[in-house]
Copies of this chain bind each other. A is one copy, B any other.
Amino acid sequence: MKQQTFVIVGLGLMGGSLAVDLRKNFPSANIVGISRHEKKILYAKKKKIINEGFVRIETALKKAHVIFLCSPVGTLEDYISKIDCFAEPGTVVTDVGSTKFKLVNWTDHQRFKNIKFVGSHPLAGSHLRGVEHAIPSLYKNALVFVTPTHQTNQKALQVVVSIWEKLKAQVKIISPADHDKIVSEISHLPHALAAVLVNLVSSRSIDCAASGFLDTTRIAQGYPKLWVPIFESNRKNLIKDLKRYQNLLKKLICLLEKRSKNGLEKFLFYASERRSQLKKRACL
């Protein structure tokens, strides 16, 4: 088998960590990084995270077998169009973007000359960013959504799934629409709620914050320029979930206003039990 070349577009925390994991699990592979920032390329080469690095996408694609898009959600369509112009026929392209419906709906309506696209989204990351914060084994045991449709090339799907599995991720095949509903609930909604909480609390109080408040709001540190496009691309689900949240919050306020000790205990007991059970899952 000839040497495989993996191209990673975007050397941030996700792309950098992916390069580290690919290197570990495909020791003989050629790992190519693309970044607009020369500095990031130099850093990643120095740390042996990548073998080669390029600022311009054109020069990097000739030998690519699989291309991983690890740039912000709002940049993906432009990159995919450009990659299709320069890649060799049959090149497999996937991404790590946090929303899938809008992107995959768009790729399904393109007539690509050269590439075969398969949407991915690993539920992994950090509020930190940049290749210098790359986390080894970030994808190990992580849940990775892969979102094929009727248009998806089956061979390309197999290639993408087998790479994630080689990184010891737990692959979940799901429709792009269902994917976006799930991540709205477990990622975008919690992020929005944490931001509201941080913005609400008085300066006097926030200065006294201890571990409970810090854990609850950790994700609010996420980089806004990454998160606004994520919220925008999953806007309808997020608004729907925020309104569902408003309704349930109203019910809790009613229990407090009515001094319903029994109702309050049931509410907190259900949450406590449900949350405690999550720890028991093998993959956590």
Interface residues of A (CB under 8 A from B): 123-125, 142-143, 172, 181-182, 185-187, 189-202, 204-225, 227-228, 231-232, 235, 238-239, 241-246, 248-250, 252-253, 256-257, 259, 261, 264-265, 267-272, 274-276, 278, 281, 284
- Chain B positions within 8 Å of A256 at CB level: 231, 235, 238-239, 242
- The verdict on A212 contacting B187 (CB below 8 Å), with A194-B271, A199-B271, A227-B268 known, is yes
Does the CB pair B235–A265 fall under 8 Å? no
- The verdict on A242 contacting B235 (CB below 8 Å), with A194-B271, A227-B268, A274-B206 known, is no
Does the CB pair A215–B213 fall under 8 Å? no
- Chain B positions within 8 Å of A194 at CB level: 216, 271, 275
- Chain B positions within 8 Å of A207 at CB level: 281
Candidates B142, B238, B249; contact of A196 at CB < 8 Å: B249
Query: What are 7 sample pairs from A and B whose C-beta atoms fall under 8 A apart?
Result: A182-B205, A189-B201, A196-B249, A199-B248, A221-B275, A242-B249, A243-B253
Candidates B143, B196, B269; contact of A245 at CB < 8 Å: B196
